Amino acid sequence: MFSGFDIGIDLGTANTLVYSKNKGIVVNEPSVVAIDTESKKIVAVGMEAKEMIGKTPEKIIAVRPLKDGVIADFDTTTEMIKHIMRQASKKIGLALRKPNVIVCIPSGSTSVERRAIHDTVKNAGAKKITLIEEPVAAAIGAGLPVDEPIANVVVDIGGGNTEVAIISFGGVVACHSIKVGGDRLDEDVIQYVRKEYNVMIGERTAENVKMEIGYALIDHEEKFMDVRGRDLVTGLPKTIKLSSYEIRNAIKESLLHILEAVRATLEDCPAELSGDIVDRGVILTGGGALLNGMKDWLSKEIFVPVQLAEEPLESVAIGTGMAVPYINKLPATISK
């Protein structure tokens, strides 16, 4: 029997969050680690490390140890989780003992990848570890009745991946996971600016462009933004003016991939549950859900209502915490 937990961890490709039973979200940091390549020591973790991306001297590199939703670098991820668990323990006052942890795993992950997440959290100092499927956590966090025989559809657009899942009666009945998420949109912006203007811009700049003047494929009033980068011809700094229309075009292909994953999942839906989807619609979560016009665009394309989760960046973390009452009821989605 599952007895309890101290913290829930949403180990995302872009952000890692920790939820505590009593205190709510106690840690919310970018999943970034800065490493000194000479001493191999970790110089910074989280926001401090993210600030360093693309700005550090050569011997310090800022890395994101999770790529496409899976652990790309085992040791660095372990160090990052250690750091984050320490931070959480301090805030909650658990410092003296090892915490029991619930941690999310992407639905599309293999048993090897699941084991890697389990072992990493264990090595980082957890006592008991319970794994829960991410879309299920997202659905619980968004307040959906996952333990009822009703179709709950979740579209979670993260940094490295997008997961679309239909959950009913405590289990995932259909799901598609693609390695296209917010990071890909940033990459699209970088490539576009390089090709069109011969200017190289950094990852952070591209992300800002996406957040400010990036739009899903809907009509909107054109917006502009001045952006600085390096002219690839002269090598000198250069400022260019970007329009929201050209950015929309630059990210179009990636958005269509996301739409395709949503459509494919809905097509896999058992007929008996299809009616629920028409009535109840789809819930949109993850940071990518915040792209301007995302909700309206998806709704228009799939002909069902789309609702934005209340806190798209936090639903998964909140869901891990709220999952406790379900844990003994949802054997299909939980493993210890």
CB 43 within 8 A of CB 34: yes
Give the count of residues interacting with Mg ion (CB under 5 A): 2
291 binds ligand ADP (CB under 6 A): yes
CA distance 103 to 132: 6
Name which of ligand ADP, Mg ion, none residue 258 binds, using a CB cut-off of 5 to 8 Å depending on partner kind. none
Q: Pick the closer one to ligand ADP by CB: 229 or 286.
A: 286
Tell me which of 210, 238, 280, 295 binds ligand ADP, using CB under 6 A: 210
Tell me which of 158, 160, 182, 288 binds Mg ion, using CB under 5 A: 158
DSSP 215: B
CA distance 33 to 52: 9
Tell me which of 8, 9, 11, 12 binds Mg ion, using CB under 5 A: 12
Tokens of 309: 């989760």
CA distance 316 to 311: 9
283 binds ligand ADP (CB under 6 A): no
Name which of ligand ADP, Mg ion, none residue 244 binds, using a CB cut-off of 5 to 8 Å depending on partner kind. none
Choose the stretch contacting Mg ion; rule: CB under 5 A; options: 4-12, 59-67, 199-207, 257-265.
4-12
Binding residues for ligand ADP restricted to 116-155, rule: CB under 6 A = none
* Stated length of the chain: 336
SS3 of 31-93 = CCEEEECCCCCEEEECHHHHCCCCCCCCCEEEECCEECCEECCHHHHHHHHHHHHHHHHHHHC
Residue type, 192: Y
Q: Pick the closer one to ligand ADP by CB: 286 or 321.
A: 286
CA distance 258 to 245: 19
Give the count of residues interacting with ligand ADP (CB under 6 A): 19
65 binds ligand ADP (CB under 6 A): no
Name which of Mg ion, ligand ADP, none residue 118 binds, using a CB cut-off of 5 to 8 Å depending on partner kind. none
CA distance 56 to 54: 6
Instruction: Convert residues 165-204 into a mask of x (bound to ligand ADP by CB under 6 A) and - (unbound).
Output: ----------------xxx---------------------
CA distance 278 to 283: 12
- Which residues contribute to the site for Mg ion (CB under 5 A)? 12, 158
Binding site for ligand ADP (CB under 6 A): 12-15, 158-160, 181-183, 207, 210-211, 286-288, 290-291, 313
